[in-house]
């Protein structure tokens, strides 16, 4: 396919250009390219797709089911009791709803931790996105449960090997829900197979206090003592950070998955993102689940992040830095050849109506994308060189059926509680 006459974000600036896509990859960026299969991108701003590095996709079913509560109370009194009744079919329709929402808001890749992950694989067969997935392992310090959780993760890993555009990582939920033995086993298996480890870390003050009482260390220091921190560590939240913690993450080249809306809504605090960026930590962006956000809209998340960190200074997280956190930094964290537009990169592209009211005037297009864009400005989405959405319609699925079935399953799930 030749994408003609778009305003392309390439080499950190916007310029009129054509893009040639072959076998899912960008092989030429120039003017005057010709081909048989041409997509007219006149009037469109072309950017790399957003990379959502931390979410629980099927939690779309729990959107609004447990609001305005502290994290531990929210988990123990609302979320975990609801999740105890989840079924494969529940998660399948919840996953489809989440995939629709992500595509329609410009996300092309995401990193997911949840349950019934085969339901997500099935949903991805309907709506092709690029995904990294893991089974959320929780053993609550029970040796037998630890063995079962690791066995399920290994089984899921074998399934992922058979799927295109799908990678697997180990998903111990957190240091406070996983035994040292399970964390060690996860690290050993990850090392043997070159896998990433996706884990919640240092999300609340309580977690930090409890870690100090249990281990005499912060959560970051504790994981570092277990040799779990390296360039393949995907650390969700990292809200409660000391200077020493940030130094450790920088030294170990670990990746932080920042979830500002969730941290605000659950009153977990404001992560020291500007300090992490200055120390060279790779910070990426995630929405978290739709039960704690309550959205999977990465553009909205990017704006929230950019604005909240300006409480320290208006020069913190300028538009370009915020955009990188939502795109190329996420691709780096997940080991993807996407997140930017360039030769040899995955053709994961988002097409924005340049004349949408939220994109006008054109004083600073990147600023408009970070601070003002609305979802309906996103007209088309390409993933792996294939159009997944055209004119805001997801190709190959019945969107209305997804909405109705997901809502039906969500209502029944809450009624079971």
For residue range 236-254, what is the model confidence (pLDDT) as tens digits?
999 999 999 999 999 999 9
| Structure-token pair, residue 17 | 């250009």
CA-based nearest residue to 339, from 98, 99, 12: 12
Checking if the pLDDT of 359 tops 90, the result is yes
Reported confidence tier of residue 216, pLDDT bands at 50, 70, 90: very high
User: What is the set of domains in the chain, with CATH numbers?
Assistant: 2-48+339-394 (2.30.40.10), 50-334 (3.20.20.140)
Checking if the pLDDT of 70 tops 90, the result is no
CA R_g for the chain: 21
Reported confidence tier of residue 266, pLDDT bands at 50, 70, 90: very high
Reported confidence tier of residue 74, pLDDT bands at 50, 70, 90: confident
Tell me if 54 sits within 8 A of 236, measured CB to CB.
yes
Q: 26 by DSSP, 3-state: which?
A: strand
CA-based nearest residue to 197, from 179, 218, 170, 176: 170
For residue range 143-192, what is the model confidence (pLDDT) as tens digits?
999 999 999 999 999 999 999 999 999 999 999 999 999 999 999 999 99
The DSSP symbol for 161 reads: T
CA-based nearest residue to 269, from 296, 242, 250, 231: 242
| In the block, residue with structure tokens 């200055």 | 278
pLDDT of residue 245: 98
Checking if the pLDDT of 417 tops 80, the result is no
Tell me if 200 sits within 8 A of 173, measured CB to CB.
yes
Reported confidence tier of residue 139, pLDDT bands at 50, 70, 90: very high
Reported confidence tier of residue 72, pLDDT bands at 50, 70, 90: confident
- Identify the burial level of 374 via C-beta atoms within 10 angstroms of its C-beta, where 0-12 means exposed, 13-18 middle and 19 or more buried: middle
pLDDT of residue 66: 87
pLDDT of residue 416: 83
| In the block, residue with structure tokens 């992950």 | 117
pLDDT of residue 83: 93
CA-based nearest residue to 46, from 362, 348, 375, 363: 348
pLDDT of residue 69: 87
Cα 169 off chain centre by: 14
Question: Do strands 349-353 and 44-48 pair parallel, antiparallel, or not at all (unpaired)?
Answer: antiparallel
CA-based nearest residue to 88, from 126, 139, 62, 123: 123
Residues above pLDDT 90, as percent of the chain: 96
The DSSP result for 343-387, as a single string, is TTSB--EEEEETTSGGG-S-S-HHHHHHHT--GGGEEEEEETTEE
pLDDT of residue 75: 85
In angstroms, what CA-CA distances link 253 with 233, 282, 317, 387, 416?
Answer: 8, 7, 20, 35, 44
For residue range 79-93, what is the model confidence (pLDDT) as tens digits?
989 999 999 999 999
For the chain, first and last CA: distance in Å? 50
pTM (2 d.p.)? 0.97
């Amino acid at each position: 396919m030749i994408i003609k006459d778009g305003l392309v974000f390439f080499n950190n600036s916007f310029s009129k250009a054509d893009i040639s896509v072959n076998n899912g990859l960008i092989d030429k960026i120039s003017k005057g390219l010709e081909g048989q299969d041409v997509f007219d991108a006149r009037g469109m701003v072309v950017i790399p797709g957003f990379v959502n590095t931390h979410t629980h996709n099927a939690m779309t079913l729990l959107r609004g089911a447990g609001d305005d509560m502290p994290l531990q109370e929210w988990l123990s009194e609302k979320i975990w009791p609801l999740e105890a009744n989840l079924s494969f079919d529940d998660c399948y329709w919840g996953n489809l709803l989440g995939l629709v929402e992500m595509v329609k808001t410009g996300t092309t890749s995401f990193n997911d931790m949840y349950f019934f992950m085969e339901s997500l694989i099935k949903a991805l067969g309907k709506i092709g996105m690029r995904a990294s997935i893991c089974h959320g392992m929780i053993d609550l310090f029970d040796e037998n449960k630890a063995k079962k959780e690791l066995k399920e993760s290994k089984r899921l890993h074998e399934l992922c090997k058979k799927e295109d555009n799908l990678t697997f990582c180990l998903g111990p939920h957190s240091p406070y829900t996983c035994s040292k033995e399970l964390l060690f086993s996860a690290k050993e298996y990850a090392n043997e197979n070159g896998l990433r480890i996706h884990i919640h870390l240092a999300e609340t003050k309580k977690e930090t206090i409890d870690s100090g009482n249990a281990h005499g260390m912060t959560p970051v220091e504790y994981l570092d003592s277990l040799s779990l921190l390296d360039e393949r560590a995907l650390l969700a939240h990292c809200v409660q950070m000391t200077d020493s913690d940030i130094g450790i993450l920088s030294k170990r080249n670990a990746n932080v998955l920042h979830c500002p809306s969730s941290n605000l809504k659950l009153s977990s605090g404001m992560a020291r993102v500007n300090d992490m960026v200055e120390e060279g930590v790779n910070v990426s962006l995630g929405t978290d689940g739709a039960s704690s956000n309550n959205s999977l809209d990465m553009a909205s998340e990017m704006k929230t992040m950019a604005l909240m960190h300006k409480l320290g200074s208006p020069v913190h997280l300028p538009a370009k830095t915020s955009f990188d956190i939502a795109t190329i930094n996420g691709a780096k964290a997940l080991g993807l050849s996407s997140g930017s537009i360039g030769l040899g990169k995955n053709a994961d592209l988002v097409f924005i109506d340049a004349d949408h009211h939220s994109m006008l005037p054109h004083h600073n297009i990147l600023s408009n994308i970070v601070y003002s864009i609305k979802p309906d400005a996103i007209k088309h989405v390409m993933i792996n060189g294939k159009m997944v959405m055209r004119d805001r319609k997801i190709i190959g699925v019945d969107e209305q059926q997804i909405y109705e079935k997901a809502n039906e399953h969500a209502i029944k799930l809450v009624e079971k509680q």
